[in-house]
Amino acid sequence: MAESTTLRRVIKRIATPIVVVVAVVYFLIDALFVSLLRPIIEWTAAFRPFARLRAWIESLGPYPTLALFLVPIILFEPVKPVGFYLLGTGRFLAGTLVLVIGEILKIVIVERLFHIAQPKLMSIRLFAIVYTYIMGWIDWLKALPPWQMVMRWVRAIKLRGRLIGRSTWRFARGTWQRVAALARGA
């Protein structure tokens, strides 16, 4: 009996850090995708055809709203392990596509649904408790130096992309103006 208790403690001592690391990586991937997809999420919010859908979602009660909120999570959450499996078996392109497209769809849909349904979802006591707990974890993760470093990299990449885009646009515009001037002069 004492041996099984000792074995359980040893397994728990070994497994706990592994589970924490896996959970942290999992949440970091989701949080990173959310920060990168913010423009798409905002675009869908302004997209006119979704106005009726929004009105319908707002007309639902708290528990039907919760069920609707859980559908995309249940459908798209298995995409991540499938994508990692494909990557692990050497199908890099397929795994990457499954991960990226699945995450984009899941995050955009879930984020929009949550934004619309948050007041009703927060009226469900257990949901509010779990949400507060998860947001505490996410805030803790965002305060860690590795997260701050990744976010600095993301900001630097975005800035570099904007600078490259602007210079490419200026070059293309200048080239077009020179071609147009040559055509007018010819």
User: DSSP of 31-66, one letter per residue?
Assistant: HHHHHHHHHHHHHHHH-TTHHHHHHHHHHS-HHHHH
Q: Is 122 found in the same domain as 56?
A: yes
CB atoms < 10 A from the CB of 93, how many? 9
From CA 123, how far away is CA 47, in angstroms rounded? 27
Structural domain span for residue 175: 144-186
Q: What is the mean pLDDT of residues 42-49?
A: 72
121 and 54 part of one domain: yes
The band of 69, judged by pLDDT with boundaries at 50, 70 and 90, is confident
| 141 touches 74 (CB < 8 A) | no
Mean pLDDT, residues 174-178 taken together: 83
Same domain? 19 vs 105 = yes
Please tell me whether residues 134 and 177 are part of one structural domain: no
Residues 127 and 149 placed together within one structural domain of the fold? no
Between 44 and 167, residue with greater pLDDT: 167
Q: How confident is the model at residue 34 (pLDDT cuts 50, 70, 90)?
A: low
Q: Between 172 and 29, name the one with better pLDDT.
A: 172
Q: Which tokens in the block code for residue 132? A: 């507060």
Q: What is the CA radius of gyration of the chain?
A: 23
pLDDT recorded at residue 24? 63
Average the pLDDT over 26-46 and give the result: 68
pLDDT at 104: 81
Q: How many domains does the chain have?
A: 2
pLDDT of residue 13 exceeding 80, the answer is no
